[in-house]
Amino acid sequence: MDPMRRHPVGLARAADQLWFGPAGVVTRAALRSAAGIITPVWCIGCAEQDEVLCELCAEDLHLLTRAPFAAEQQALALPLLMTCETITVLRVSAAGRYEGLLARAVLAFKDHGAIGLGAALGPGLARALRLAAARAVEGSDPASTGSRPWLLVSPPSSLRSQLTRGFDPVQKLLSHALASGSPPDHDEPRLLPAPGLLRQTRAASLRSLNPAQGRQKTRGARARRRRTVGSLELTPRGHQMLPGAEVLLVDDVLTSGSTLAELYRVLDAAGASIRGAAVFAAAPGPGAESEFPLVRASPEA
């Protein structure tokens, strides 16, 4: 078995310690010079050469993700939750807006999986997860949080993504997030990564191999939704673990919400209780300039 899958948190923590610890200075310098010899590297923020993310841009990234916010108003395809009296939309908490430096960082991380970027993005997702959990238990009886951990479920990466990237970006980001966050307080739920509960249906996997169909972010919302519905199914492990489980959904980017809607549909049908969702970045909706209550912390590099 792949050791990454068994100990995602432990490995990420070890990687972070190596990266940020005393040995990290030497390691980073060595990696940088090695990478620089093979191929020149530019900062994704300011295009300075030699580092994938320079210290100033890392600080900007931190500032842009330090205040997580409610992002569900922008995503029109999110599932509606109906009780006898109310209709609400699935609550999604985001660390930052999917634009500028954040968008470049997410894309560079997904395409290259750069270890430094994972460590820089992780804390933002950790803050979004914490807000998502806090909003989920808000106003409810502390006892209802229960002692069982909440499962963190993300969309399985497509066959195309596995073939081209060789790793699952969201799971990797999640392991960085959990390694960077402080342990939960006594009244906060424990969060447990639960990969491997869902998979793409065979038809969706094959579809993802067609490069013209793989660009989710560039498709219209309606086409995206049509393509996403029915694209996921439970694995045997999912059948075993999901009935009755408390779940938080996790994804890297929120656009229309159709991916989270499909996750919700499958998990709800499996008998899981979905308490909310956390994403690293939320794409502003059409004409949404003033909708997010986010203070721009620093001018965009």
Query: x/- binding map, residues 97-136, to Zn ion, per CB under 5 A?
Result: ----------------------------------------
Q: Least distance in Å: CB of 180 to Zn ion?
A: 21
The residue among 46 and 234 lying less far from Zn ion, judged by its C-beta, is 46
Binding to Zn ion by residue 197, rule CB under 5 A? no
Q: Which of 164, 166, 138, 176 is nearest to 252 (CA)?
A: 176
Neighbours of 139 (CB within 10 A): 5
Q: Least distance in Å: CB of 28 to Zn ion?
A: 15
Cβ-Cβ contacts under 8 Å for 230 (sequence gap 6 or more)? 201, 204, 262
The residue among 57 and 197 lying less far from Zn ion, judged by its C-beta, is 57
Binding to Zn ion by residue 54, rule CB under 5 A? yes
Q: Least distance in Å: CB of 126 to Zn ion?
A: 22
The residue among 50 and 291 lying less far from Zn ion, judged by its C-beta, is 50
The residue among 101 and 277 lying less far from Zn ion, judged by its C-beta, is 101
Q: Which of 61, 132, 155, 48 is nearest to 103 (CA)?
A: 61
Query: x/- binding map, residues 12-51, to Zn ion, per CB under 5 A?
Result: -------------------------------x-xx-----
- Write the DSSP symbol of residue 68: -
Please give the Cα distance from 160 to 165 (Å, whole number): 8
Q: Least distance in Å: CB of 117 to Zn ion?
A: 12
Q: Which of 118, 131, 117, 136 is nearest to 67 (CA)?
A: 131
What does the H/E/C string look like for 227-283?
HHCCCEEECHHHHHHCCCCEEEEEEEEECCCHHHHHHHHHHHHCCCEEEEEEEEEEC
- Write the DSSP symbol of residue 88: E
With CB under 5 A as the contact rule, which of the stretches 52-60, 100-108, 114-122, 265-273 interacts with Zn ion? 52-60
Q: Least distance in Å: CB of 62 to Zn ion?
A: 13
The residue among 44 and 136 lying less far from Zn ion, judged by its C-beta, is 44
The residue among 137 and 301 lying less far from Zn ion, judged by its C-beta, is 301
Provide the binding-site residues for Zn ion, judged by CB under 5 A: 43, 45-46, 54, 57
